[in-house]
Structure 1
């Protein structure tokens, strides 16, 4: 029975949304997930002889006819449909191959919702089905690689496959009608000012999802897909690592690269492609090939996935290690370990790392196999390895160490360096690249016989050559042949507009291919077009003169956040704009894609504060100094000092003034007691009988004040000399010490503990904020009624570990209270940016530290947010320097211990297609 869905509860976003960062209202029916996992029907099918598995070249919007535009739309639509027709049955549509993404049914209809919404926004059509248009448009881009709790529940009431296909057919008919009624592009060219720009945008959006859906389907268990006879895996492959050509470094002279795309270019482009950035690229050396499976193998066999040092950057960023540990990663995600290789079967029962590890179709040998789109095949050692950014970075750290290079001397190229290696013609005259044009596209064999062998892939599959040709160095350049001027032939500047694209792209094959199958660029580098995407070091960012388009105002800008790393070059399944010379795309660093990497070696002694500093675009550098300079010079007194103005600032605990800041320890202890009284469960102990844990207590000033309110106070700190001062003050009630006045000059000062404080209530323990066993022992092994996490989040390299320690069973009593204190002053020299809990944008949304504290502690309902308050503190650095901070105190109440996450649902999903 189909689920009944309440259409009035769907969240309606702005019509320009591209389906990023939003969540539709919850519509669930208990037991629906289990029901769908049992489906054996196949409501959507295309006969093998009707499958469309070949892509047309991108249309020239100045010269194409309506027939060309219609053919390109139908090709886009049919390619996507054909991919989903390869799912085994209806149950697979409701599976989530990646737990961080939506189920496949969403992506099945998503592209049609965008067609409908964009054409409606452009005023070309009326809404077709507002409910489905919104349900299938709004998507989720998770906040981190372990953020699964807010994703759609298995019992979410998605439409049936048949209902979804009916919606798709209605949209298809509407788009065909629009194309038939539009002016002929040869007479009225389609420009970005035309309402029909949204039509072409829909085509290219669908082609993006052809690729991203191919990755999700590749992550399904192999039993959930079928492979038709017309599917063309590349037949060329090296059967042993010894057969693979050695990767060598190729020198590149200093050059000038111009990034960007002219606004009048006669082919669709996303907003981030337009603008112009001129980059002077210093000389460097880059690897001729992308890193192959063979080149990556020694890293895996050497235990590289288990060795933390390869996953941590010289600046202490360990985002990669946290990802590898969380996933229990053991090898590249599309490699398959056989049952005879138990040491390489990673993941957990509830979150398998590679769903085909140990599968019968992988055989019983002791060598890795490879999961391609629809099959498990013997490892093709000369194909590019496909990994995420973290794996690529770890490999390069390992390789550099093994070759005696300095840390960071091997890295991935920057965007500008990649274009220097590609050496394609550039429409901007300032560029020094692309001048070696030899009358043919880089990457297309000059030999007609070789060209026929590479392009006629259907024949190649039937009769593959015995060996893959090695084209060697670039062909000599004929200086008498000049590339046409941009004004004469704009299409000549983009390979995707040629009848045949260079390299393994535009679905020549339906898999990767050997890294030396196609000839190199004129600069000597292989696979700069297609095969698999490759990472560059740049954060995704707009070019100078970037501007958004009203039809896709959230396509790129949500990713200009420093968390999305650029990828260039396209893959075997890239078509249209993805295969374009101008294509600029990005993914989160933990995502998987048809994606690999090559490397460059910097000159010995080159110092880079961040990878590729000379030419890279890094969004995380230099913003703080500029903000402080402008604020200090121009902001009002009230903006500079929130608690100083015409009236006291107001906190959740009442008005606060500058005087409050000078009595911070007392003020904070009072605030904690007030928050505890408000937040604790009725059955929890009263403060006078309660125990409190003060984490990061320093010299114990606040710890002593907490003794006014609580019966047992345990203070912890990780630095013994600091804790020694706390113990001295507790024992003697006073301390004479040297107070800093200027430079290293000091004066003798005496401080006292208030006489009305019962100092015997306190106990001090030396430990860090994420190791709480010693503190629990000091409390008699009992959980604490309250915990104060005092400013530690911005003082440690991994703040999330501190929050995780508070989620452990037996630390906080049920109904107890946690108060987290933070000034939100994140510093990249202390905490790597990838480990910050707030203070940045992600996916177009501001992420604040308070929100992250509530989200992480409140995960799975373990803690409930109660209240937050501002507490001022005045700190003395020396006789002339004082800082005023406004501490954010966030109070949460502990609920019942959550049961362990069951693996039953995951196991059921694994066996759904068996």
Structure 2
């Protein structure tokens, strides 16, 4: 067995790298999905007395024995296996608890695929089953939540549960063999340069999926799971909101936080944890507790989920409102509305928001229940509310308004502020946090043995006490007690390496717990370790000196895209590195996890261009200005004018020169006519007999030129004074106006419409690009043969709305053509970045505007991409400033109208568990 790394086998980031989405629909068998929904067999089972539901502490890689490493592996593997053993039958393995995620059979075998792939990549083993290793490797994170196409077809030929389990057992045996043959870590420590680093990587990867799979299983209908007698939901809960302690703000003095993990730390870490960032944190005030179900309740009862203003940022970003509308959300996703609460049963028949809403097990009362992992229980009002980032942000907007605070004055903490509240010892001497070390780990009860006995007492679970037990206050801070130096005891700097982790983590309970169950940190904040994760405002990003590890080249980097928001602190089901002081994780803002939030209040008058500006390195800030200055100062003329230089360039429409750019209205109209002729279906009308809708027509220059080619042209614009000029030019054929020359100086100028244009073919309508009824009325109620969407995508707040309007029935004739014109010049002051259609990275892949246009219009086969062409445009700003743009003209042909997707398949999937 190899003991060194063959670096020639190291895979670079490519289409097969882990974490990527793919939508290939190969390997399908018609009717297989329906067949599997009808399965009642149970091929994978573990008896209750053999379930493993307790986690071991993370191993010290400098001092552990092979027996310790083997025990940790078996514990990791068995925890994951035990979770899947709680599915009711085989049919559940083929369900998608979230329509945008893989079916559970993928996650069942995915972790073993990673063991096999990483150990093979490290040169430690040979491939075990390349087919399964590839099948179960990729597809964890989807690309878009608002694309209703499923990531994987229901008829995809996944292996049977028994076949998947056989693959898992083969991998398990191989890993055990590797551990038995490896050098003892006490003799040869496992470092990140060791091939056996991939072994520990596999353990921690499996523990990540223990958590993410727990969330997916929690999203299943309750009838699809079973609850064993050894499952420990926390027995302590407030039965009414009045019993819950009031959340108060706690002041934090200005301090210095150092983020990062030493490279020689004797415990596994993911690439994003290493490096070092020193942050001076201004004084702030933060909530002592995470927001509870009780604190969140008034927002729900006030109709907060239905009120758009709470979901839109001051800069117009409405990503949250689009998510809330898409899901028809009415309450936190794990809350359960009873049948007596119809106003709070959200979602759609195809996509239920909470699959247990109205379920018989929720009862007939008029109060919310809570879906925990394997049960529906009376609402524990003092447990943290579990929501996604959009819900948390909407709540804070509502709360700030109700308390008379300025918009944005309440927000979630930043990563640096979170560590100031946690106040744990730091291995870097520059840090000012953790200096109040009191001889115990922050947040551990004064009598941890008593807490452990309580957790293990079955009687306590069966007969919950009326009040939360008093575990004692933290030991008083004693300045004479010094924390050991990092070199003396590195493990003392990470709670996950202690025999008992602080707080509700490492599976002490199998559910959340009251926010005040465990003592606070030395800074006075509760649950900074465990219970549920909490959001911070930072985009996920590497620390200074970040570098990828060759064994997992795209664990973090695909998420360094501005779409992934960081979460810290761990949850009740977090184990291993997830519970570490150094853990840094992130998910898309619409994802659900065992995840909540707390808030901080900024000082009145503090202006933040983006949340947490003083301590956050926002990935989207400042890039454009830097790029322009470097390009202007150093790029060659060919780079600056790649398509219009001294020699004509060639595009799909032929040679183009700078002179062409000055006559762009004619050029654009000619391009549309050419693309229409190429793209239209044979049965569609010829251009001379066709109607065309010109959206965002402005003063009508291109609209008039379209009249050369089409018999009926409808131009629309949303600004009446602009449209008035178009109508004047159509009526008179000329217009005298004041042309800007310098500052506010003007000169009188006269422009004319070309005499050979039949101006009577045009009609102008005032409307926006997403409201097309007035335009259709102007066309006699008939669909258009062609639609030109002219530059509007980058000029509106929600460009996706414009594309969605073109998908509506009756707008474009079957076989007709849509031509989308765009310069892709996205501006955050006009269009919030979360609403851009392109010009960013997501999940490690470049997303271009053209690709998004084709994907959104082509969804479900409604439009087919035909051709794209470049059209130069020269715009005059004043007598001395001219802007040269290269317009991307994308042509798509419309197919037949697709019937609405039936809800039968979704309903059948859920009824299989009944």
Q: Give the C-alpha shift of residue 642 in structure 1.
A: 1.8
- Is the alpha carbon distance of 1:633 and 1:8 closer, same or farther for their aligned partners in structure 2, counting shifts above 3 Å? closer
Structure 1: how far apart are the matches of 2:24 and 2:69? 33
| Alpha carbons 1:311, 1:320 under 8 Å: kept | yes
Secondary structure at the counterpart of residue 878 of structure 2: coil
| Alpha carbons 1:22, 1:140 under 8 Å: kept | no
Secondary structure at the counterpart of residue 203 of structure 1: helix
| 1:162-196 alpha-carbon deviations (Å, 9 max, x no partner) | 00000000000000000000000000000000000
| 1:253-297 alpha-carbon deviations (Å, 9 max, x no partner) | 000000000000000000000000000000000000000000000
Secondary structure at the counterpart of residue 555 of structure 2: coil
Structure 2: how far apart are the matches of 1:16 and 1:503? 39
- Is the alpha carbon distance of 1:789 and 1:65 closer, same or farther for their aligned partners in structure 2, counting shifts above 3 Å? same
| Alpha carbons 2:741, 2:879 under 8 Å: kept | yes
Q: How does 1:34-53 map to 2 (within 5 A)?
A: 34-53=34-53
Structure 2: how far apart are the matches of 1:67 and 1:2? 21
Q: Give the C-alpha shift of residue 61 in structure 1.
A: 0.1
Q: Give the C-alpha shift of residue 854 in structure 1.
A: 0.2
What does residue 711 of structure 1 align with?
711
| 1:316-363 alpha-carbon deviations (Å, 9 max, x no partner) | 100000000110000000000000000000000000000000000000
TM-score, with length taken from structure 1: 0.98
Q: Give the C-alpha shift of residue 18 in structure 1.
A: 2.5
- Is the alpha carbon distance of 1:24 and 1:783 closer, same or farther for their aligned partners in structure 2, counting shifts above 3 Å? closer
| Alpha carbons 2:447, 2:471 under 8 Å: kept | no
- Is the alpha carbon distance of 1:12 and 1:147 closer, same or farther for their aligned partners in structure 2, counting shifts above 3 Å? farther
Q: Give the C-alpha shift of residue 842 in structure 1.
A: 0.2
Secondary structure at the counterpart of residue 803 of structure 1: helix
Secondary structure at the counterpart of residue 323 of structure 1: helix
Structure 2: how far apart are the matches of 1:110 and 1:843? 18
Q: Give the C-alpha shift of residue 100 in structure 1.
A: 0.6
Q: Give the C-alpha shift of residue 466 in structure 1.
A: 3.7
What does residue 258 of structure 1 align with?
258
| Alpha carbons 2:447, 2:472 under 8 Å: kept | no
TM-score, with length taken from structure 2: 0.98
- Is the alpha carbon distance of 1:471 and 1:10 closer, same or farther for their aligned partners in structure 2, counting shifts above 3 Å? closer
| Alpha carbons 1:504, 1:530 under 8 Å: kept | yes
Structure 2: how far apart are the matches of 1:444 and 1:463? 25
| Alpha carbons 2:311, 2:320 under 8 Å: kept | yes
Secondary structure at the counterpart of residue 506 of structure 1: coil
- Is the alpha carbon distance of 1:9 and 1:892 closer, same or farther for their aligned partners in structure 2, counting shifts above 3 Å? farther
Structure 2: how far apart are the matches of 1:462 and 1:643? 75
Structure 1: how far apart are the matches of 2:72 and 2:279? 35
- Is the alpha carbon distance of 1:7 and 1:95 closer, same or farther for their aligned partners in structure 2, counting shifts above 3 Å? farther
What does residue 505 of structure 2 align with?
505
Secondary structure at the counterpart of residue 819 of structure 1: strand
| Alpha carbons 2:437, 2:477 under 8 Å: kept | yes
Q: What is the aligned-residue RMSD (CA, Å)? A: 3.6
| Alpha carbons 1:3, 1:159 under 8 Å: kept | no
Farther off after superposition, 529-538 or 451-460: 451-460
Farther off after superposition, 509-518 or 459-468: 459-468
What does residue 101 of structure 1 align with?
101
Q: Report whether the alignment pairs 1:630 with 2:636.
A: no
Secondary structure at the counterpart of residue 71 of structure 1: helix
| Alpha carbons 1:338, 1:363 under 8 Å: kept | yes
Structure 2: how far apart are the matches of 1:454 and 1:402? 40
Q: Give the C-alpha shift of residue 146 in structure 1.
A: 1.7
| Alpha carbons 2:728, 2:735 under 8 Å: kept | yes
- Is the alpha carbon distance of 1:547 and 1:444 closer, same or farther for their aligned partners in structure 2, counting shifts above 3 Å? same
Q: Give the C-alpha shift of residue 643 in structure 1.
A: 2.6
Q: Give the C-alpha shift of residue 648 in structure 1.
A: 1.7
Q: Give the C-alpha shift of residue 7 in structure 1.
A: 28
Q: Give the C-alpha shift of residue 472 in structure 1.
A: 8.6
| Alpha carbons 1:471, 1:520 under 8 Å: kept | no
Structure 1: how far apart are the matches of 2:509 and 2:488? 33
Q: Give the C-alpha shift of residue 446 in structure 1.
A: 1.6
- Is the alpha carbon distance of 1:529 and 1:140 closer, same or farther for their aligned partners in structure 2, counting shifts above 3 Å? closer
| Alpha carbons 1:389, 1:535 under 8 Å: kept | yes
| 1:612-651 alpha-carbon deviations (Å, 9 max, x no partner) | 0000121011110000010000001111112333532221
| 1:517-571 alpha-carbon deviations (Å, 9 max, x no partner) | 0000000000000000000000000000000000010000000000000000000
| Alpha carbons 1:474, 1:523 under 8 Å: kept | no
Residue ranges of structure 2 left out of the alignment (5+ in a row): none
Secondary structure at the counterpart of residue 256 of structure 1: strand
| Alpha carbons 1:13, 1:134 under 8 Å: kept | no
Farther off after superposition, 731-740 or 645-654: 645-654
| Alpha carbons 2:868, 2:890 under 8 Å: kept | yes
What does residue 125 of structure 1 align with?
125
Structure 2: how far apart are the matches of 1:315 and 1:645? 39
Structure 2: how far apart are the matches of 1:689 and 1:160? 57
- Is the alpha carbon distance of 1:215 and 1:793 closer, same or farther for their aligned partners in structure 2, counting shifts above 3 Å? same
- Is the alpha carbon distance of 1:367 and 1:3 closer, same or farther for their aligned partners in structure 2, counting shifts above 3 Å? farther
Q: Give the C-alpha shift of residue 58 in structure 1.
A: 0.2
- Is the alpha carbon distance of 1:190 and 1:3 closer, same or farther for their aligned partners in structure 2, counting shifts above 3 Å? closer
Secondary structure at the counterpart of residue 774 of structure 1: helix
Q: How does 1:264-283 map to 2 (within 5 A)?
A: 264-283=264-283
Structure 2: how far apart are the matches of 1:370 and 1:91? 25
- Is the alpha carbon distance of 1:850 and 1:16 closer, same or farther for their aligned partners in structure 2, counting shifts above 3 Å? closer
Structure 2: how far apart are the matches of 1:2 and 1:575? 30
- Is the alpha carbon distance of 1:625 and 1:639 closer, same or farther for their aligned partners in structure 2, counting shifts above 3 Å? same
| Alpha carbons 2:446, 2:472 under 8 Å: kept | no
| Alpha carbons 2:22, 2:151 under 8 Å: kept | no
Structure 2: how far apart are the matches of 1:8 and 1:484? 42
Residue ranges of structure 1 left out of the alignment (5+ in a row): none
Secondary structure at the counterpart of residue 536 of structure 1: strand
| Alpha carbons 2:42, 2:89 under 8 Å: kept | yes
| Alpha carbons 1:532, 1:596 under 8 Å: kept | yes
| Alpha carbons 1:16, 1:553 under 8 Å: kept | no
Q: Give the C-alpha shift of residue 385 in structure 1.
A: 0.1
Q: Give the C-alpha shift of residue 487 in structure 1.
A: 0.2
Q: Give the C-alpha shift of residue 454 in structure 1.
A: 5.5
| Alpha carbons 1:16, 1:117 under 8 Å: kept | no
| Alpha carbons 1:496, 1:579 under 8 Å: kept | yes
Secondary structure at the counterpart of residue 867 of structure 1: strand
Secondary structure at the counterpart of residue 347 of structure 1: coil
| Alpha carbons 1:819, 1:890 under 8 Å: kept | yes
Structure 1: how far apart are the matches of 2:538 and 2:280? 15
- Is the alpha carbon distance of 1:7 and 1:187 closer, same or farther for their aligned partners in structure 2, counting shifts above 3 Å? closer
- Equivalenced residue count is 914
- Is the alpha carbon distance of 1:346 and 1:25 closer, same or farther for their aligned partners in structure 2, counting shifts above 3 Å? closer
